[in-house]
Amino acid sequence: MNKPIMAKATAVWLVDNTTISFKQIADFCGLHELEVQGIADGDVATGVKGFDPIANNQLEQSEIDAAEKDPLHTLKLKFNAAAVGEEKRCGPRYTPLSKRQDRPAAILWLVKFHPELSDAQISKLVGTTKPTIQSIRERTHWNISSIQPVDPVALGLTKQSELDAAVQKAAAKKAKEGVVMSDDERRKLVSTEQSLGMEAEPRIPTAISGLETFSLSGTADEDEDKDDETPDAESFFNLPDNDDDEDGDKD
C-alpha cells in the first residue's frame, strides 16, 4: 500500500492540523504539490472533511513530529497487514455517476491542449472509451456544439501528477520517433541536435530585395549628372551685346 486510504481527506487533515510542507504531504498522499497548495488555499477539496491518519492507524505521531522538524523527512505509512498481497485493479478508471457528464469536456480539453496524448492515455486518465474520444477529435459527437473544454484535474477526474506523467511520456515518445506535429498541434517535438542539423528553409524572394543598392547607386549617379548640368550663376548675366543686336537689325 503506497498511499493512505482517503488520500485527499488525509491531505486536508494534515494541512489543517500540521505544519508539514506541501511537498511532504503530496508525497505521502500521492497527490501533486499544486493540489495540496490548492487545498490550503481553499480551491481544491472544498467541503471535504479531514481524515485523521493517526486515529485511523495509518500514521504515527512521531512521523509528523519528525517531518515538522525536518522538511526533507519523508512520511512513512504505517504497516497495514490487510493490504499485503493486494494487487492493483486492472481495467479502465472508475468514474462516479455524478462526474460522468463532465468527461466530454475533459476529453476536449486534453485533445485541444495536449494533442500529443494518445487515445489510450486519454482513456486511462479520464475513464472513457476510444470511440468517444474519436468522436470528439473528429467533432462528430452528438453534443459537440455545447461542449466547453475544462481541465480534468479541476473536474476531479484525474490527478495533476498523473496528467504530468502522461504528457511527459507522450512528449518523450514523440521526440524519440522524431514525429513532426502540425501547426494546430503546436511545434514539432524533435531534439536540439536534430533541429540544428536541419537545412535552412529557403526564403521566397521579395519584390524589394536588391532594390536598396540599386536605388542608392541610381540616386547618386543622377545627382552627379544634375550637378554637372546645373549652369553657373554668372552665366545668367552674360547677355548678348546690344551692338550685335543693332547690327543684326541694320542688316
Residues 52-76 have pLDDT tens digits of 988 888 888 998 999 889 988 988 8
Q: H/E element holding 41?
A: helix 33-41
pTM over 0.85: no
Output phi, psi for 148, to 5 deg. -115, 135
Check: CB of residue 116 under 8 Å from CB of residue 181: yes
Q: Which three cell numbers stand for residue 236?
A: 545668367
Number of C-beta neighbours around residue 58 at 10 A: 21
What was the pLDDT predicted at 136?
93
What was the pLDDT predicted at 97?
66
Q: Which burial class, exposed, middle or buried, applies to 82 when counting CB atoms under 10 A from its CB (0-12, 13-18, 19+)?
A: exposed
Cα distance between residue 6 and residue 29, in whole Å:
9
In single-letter form, the type of residue at position 198 comes to: M
Largest CA distance in the chain: 143
Cα distance between residue 119 and residue 110, in whole Å:
10
Q: Which residue has the cell 536534430?
A: 194
Tell me the pLDDT tens digit for each residue of 116-148: 899 999 999 998 889 999 999 999 999 999 999
Phi-psi region of 113 (alpha: psi -120 to 50; beta: other; left: phi over 0): alpha
In single-letter form, the type of residue at position 41 comes to: D
What was the pLDDT predicted at 171?
86
Cα distance between residue 80 and residue 213, in whole Å:
83
List the chain domain ranges: 7-83, 97-197
Check: CB of residue 31 under 8 Å from CB of residue 22: no
